[in-house]
């Protein structure tokens, strides 16, 4: 039996050593491997935190002011609120709230395309958002064509924000990436809920501005893993229904759409909703330092959730594709049999016999 390898660990640094130094200890190979993996995980976590910190400190985000948005959305239905959020994503740095695309002001017709609705509907959204009652859109009619601005009361981009003011950072480019297929009413629900996302945890709740740490000397993440936090007041069905003006069945449907698009994660049990916003899309903040350690963990949760959804989606697609291929193969065999019995059969007769369109018959004939 070979001589056992002596392995050492520094009591001061925690590093594994080949040579024993004064004050260091002998450890077993299993313990060495465990500590190496723990150290590797620490390095990986620091890397993720640094990446999150760099991402959050980028300048291409829009400030959404919570108190003002709360008052604004009381005047809007879900579709119009969704149109407001979509328009906001075309603000740019140091443009005083002007809506731009490719460095030039957006025209009315382009707003119609952004909203992705009929012209009459788009004009109605513009009329409401620029009305004296709402004053979300500011229209400069002195220019031809008109120039559109977002009222800085609700949103700003690239301007200094007063300490202690609670707001949501909207990362415009990442948010735009998720918009495909998401309807205005779904976005409108998200927009209405923005002021309710907790500034430390990212959960949707009734106490979004409350510091829930019991140990104020430690970060939120450290309080969270040590379970030294006050209650986060999640929404009940009745409370969420009252805020959104929709029944629970509709709300769950909309949440599912937003979750599938990647905006949030949610669960719904015992009459209570647990909803968390994705932090690289939108993050609720105040003047305090953002807890990058916590949000790195939250992003890992979202990435794992996305991975699981993609796996399920791939399995479903695989099953669907197999069924489609099997059906095509069956139709092809049936077509061959029909043509064998009657080589002069018309395309219409063949389509009727198989139960498909004439176009499908032409595609099947190409395979013979």
Same domain (yes/no): 178, 281: yes
Q: Residue 76 in contact with residue 188, Cβ under 8 Å? A: yes
Identify whether residues 99 and 176 lie together within a single domain: yes
Helix spans in the chain (H): 29-56, 66-73, 78-88, 108-115, 119-129, 172-177, 184-193, 220-225, 237-244, 248-261, 292-341, 347-354, 358-365
Q: How far is residue 295's CA from residue 293's CA, in Å, rounded to a whole number? A: 6
SS3 state at 267: strand
Q: What is the pLDDT of residue 1?
A: 43
Q: Are residues 178 and 114 in the same domain?
A: yes
- In 3D space, the residue among 190, 207, 209 whose CA is nearest the CA of residue 199 turns out to be 209
320 in any annotated domain:
yes
pTM, to two decimals: 0.72
In a domain, 297, yes or no: no
pLDDT, tens digit (0-9, with 9 covering 90-100), for 157-172: 988 887 777 899 999 9
Do 177 and 232 fall within a single domain?
yes
Q: What integer pLDDT is reported at residue 4 of this predicted model?
A: 44
Residue stretches of the chain with pLDDT short of 70 = 1-59, 287-289, 309-322
β-pairing verdict for 272-277 and 264-269: antiparallel
Query: What is the tally of structural domains in the chain?
Result: 3
223/216 Cα distance (integer angstroms): 9
Q: What is the pLDDT of residue 2?
A: 45
Q: Are residue 135 and residue 25 in the same domain, yes or no?
A: no
Residues 316 and 279 in one domain: no
CA distance 52 to 298: 11
Residue 330: domain span:
310-365
Predicted pLDDT at 72: 97
Place of tokens 């909309």: 254
Residue whose C-alpha is closest to residue 76's, from 181, 189, 166: 189
What distance in Å separates the CA atoms of residue 362 and residue 367, rounded to the nearest whole number? 9
Query: What pLDDT digit, counting tens, does each position of 120-147 carry?
Result: 999 999 999 999 999 999 999 998 889 9
Q: Taking Cα atoms as reference points, which of 143, 149, 155, 79 lies closest to residue 117?
A: 79
pLDDT at site 334 = 87
Same domain (yes/no): 132, 44: no
Q: Indicate if 204 and 74 belong to the same structural domain.
A: yes
CB 210 within 8 A of CB 230: yes
Strand order through the sheet with 25-27: 16-17, 7-9, 25-27
Distance between CA atoms of residues 326 and 248, nearest Å: 40
- Please tell me the distance from the alpha carbon of residue 100 to that of residue 62, in angstroms, as a whole number: 14
Answer yes or no: do 116 and 144 share one domain. yes
Is residue 215 classed exposed, middle or buried when 0-12, 13-18 and 19+ CB atoms within 10 A define those classes?
Answer: exposed
pLDDT at 15: 56
């Amino acid at each position: 039996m070979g001589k056992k390898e002596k392995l050492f660990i520094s009591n001061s640094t925690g590093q594994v050593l080949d040579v024993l130094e004064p004050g260091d200890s002998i450890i077993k190979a299993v313990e060495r491997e465990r500590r190496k993996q723990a150290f590797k995980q620490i390095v990986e976590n620091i890397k993720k935190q640094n990446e999150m910190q760099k991402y959050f400190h980028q300048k291409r985000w829009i400030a959404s002011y919570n108190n003002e948005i709360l008052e604004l959305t009381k005047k809007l239905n879900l579709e119009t609120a969704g149109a407001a959020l979509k328009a906001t994503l075309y603000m740019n740095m140091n443009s005083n709230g002007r809506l731009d695309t490719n460095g030039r002001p957006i025209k009315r017709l382009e707003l119609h395309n952004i909203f992705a609705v009929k012209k009459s509907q788009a004009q109605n959204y513009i009329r409401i958002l620029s009305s004296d009652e709402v004053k979300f859109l500011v229209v400069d009619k002195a220019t031809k064509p008109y120039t559109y601005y977002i009222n800085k009361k609700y949103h700003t981009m690239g301007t200094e924000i007063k300490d202690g003011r609670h707001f949501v950072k909207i990362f415009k480019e990442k948010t735009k990436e998720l918009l495909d297929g998401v309807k205005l009413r779904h976005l409108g629900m998200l927009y209405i809920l923005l002021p309710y996302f907790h500034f430390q945890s990212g959960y949707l709740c009734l106490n979004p501005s409350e510091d829930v740490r019991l140990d104020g000397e430690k970060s939120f993440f450290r309080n969270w893993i040590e379970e030294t936090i006050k209650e986060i007041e999640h929404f009940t069905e009745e409370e969420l229904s009252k805020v959104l003006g929709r029944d629970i069945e509709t709300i769950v449907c909309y949440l599912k759409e937003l979750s599938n698009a990647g905006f949030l994660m949610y669960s719904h049990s015992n009459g209570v909703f647990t909803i968390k916003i994705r932090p690289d899309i939108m993050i609720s903040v105040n003047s305090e330092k953002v807890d990058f350690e916590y949000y790195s963990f939250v992003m890992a949760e979202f990435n794992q959730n996305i991975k699981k959804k993609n796996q399920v989606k791939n399995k479903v697609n695989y099953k669907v594709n197999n069924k489609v291929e099997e059906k095509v193969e069956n139709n092809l065999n049936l077509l061959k049999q029909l043509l064998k019995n009657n080589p002069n059969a018309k395309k219409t007769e063949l389509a009727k016999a198989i139960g498909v369109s004439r176009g499908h018959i032409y595609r099947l004939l190409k395979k013979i």
